[in-house]
Structure 1
Amino acid sequence: MIGNLLKGLFGGENKAEKPAKTSSHPAVSYESFDIIPEPQQVSGQWQLRGRIEKDIDGERKSHLFIRADTLPTEEEAVNHMVRKAKMMIDQQGNRVFD
């Protein structure tokens, strides 16, 4: 345990975390935004991660969405991420890119 902590502090490899993969989950269209789920496996759980994107004035805007929430399955993380992203869009609209 202490060895893992020291490796994490000093840049050693942490096998508990896998790098984010390219999303294999389809984008969800919502209110002219695209929600792209990209869950990340961390310590045997799935962390909420993905992007919210939209074309504005001919330019593709993107907001990386990462939450501390973890769930036991990848599918649960995808569903929860989409739900939270929809709430963020409803609350902030285009300001999500500010």
Structure 2
Amino acid sequence: MSVLVTFMLPVGAPKNVQIKTSKAPCYEFLGEGDEMKIEGSCVRFLKNGTGPQMKMATTLTIDRHSGAFEQIVQFNDKGGLVHTGHCIPAKKMF
């Protein structure tokens, strides 16, 4: 999964970070970021065949020093999945 983080407001301001990912269904997260970490969340409602819609809440946290990340996905505010790993920084474009 690739991740692009954009600071829209200064550090310390609420909802100052926009996180865009390449992984469906949460391509865009809003959250907070500072010198230590970036954290954002996304909520989507998914069709469940002919059954009721399913709520999917995803939280993505990235440690800016170590590159460690954690993605927590919950379904209908109950159990879910936890993905962990390590980010590799991309080369600066300019």
- Relative to the length of structure 2, the TM-score reads 0.37
Q: Which structure has the larger Rg?
A: 1
Which structure has more RCO (C-alpha within 8 Å, separation ≥ 6)?
Answer: 1
Return the structure number with greater strand share: 2
Counting helix residues as a fraction of each chain, which structure ranks higher? Answer: 1
TM, length-normalised to structure 1: 0.36
